Amino acid sequence: MLYLLGCNYQLRSDYESSERYHLQALTMCEQLLGSMHRHTARSLNSLGELYCVQERYAEAEPLLRRALNILEVSLGPTHAEVADVLENLARLLRNTAREGEAWELEKRANSIRSGKKTH
């Protein structure tokens, strides 16, 4: 529920309220489900997306990288949720002038989406 409130406020451009709900959702996920649960990763990804919208890239990047790690471990490296985080991280990297790494992440996300193996 908190996650959905955070998303709703983000859509309304009420970033302060959105951040508050995303942080509460993250705290609850970590406490109830643990730091390596897929819902914890979703909360990290959502908060990272919010920070990207606000151009708070230095805060967003570690959240997105942590979400990526959790999902790769818990769901496997070719799961669709991994592709979602890869795409968000690639956008961040493009916005911070790191085109080479962004390109690799986008290529990997596209491979997941198309069902092709990477490497």
Domains along the sequence of the chain with CATH? 2-114 (1.25.40.10)
- Which pLDDT value is given to residue 113? 94
Length of the chain: 119
Average pLDDT of the chain, as a whole number: 94
Residue 14 half-sphere exposure toward CB, CA atoms < 13 A: 11
pLDDT-derived band at 119 (thresholds 50, 70, 90) equals very low
Q: Six-digit token pair at 100?
A: 């080479």
Quote the pTM value. Answer: 0.92
pLDDT tens readout for residues 1-52: 788 899 999 999 999 999 999 999 999 999 999 999 999 999 999 999 999 9
The answer, yes or no, to whether residue 118 has pLDDT greater than 60, is no
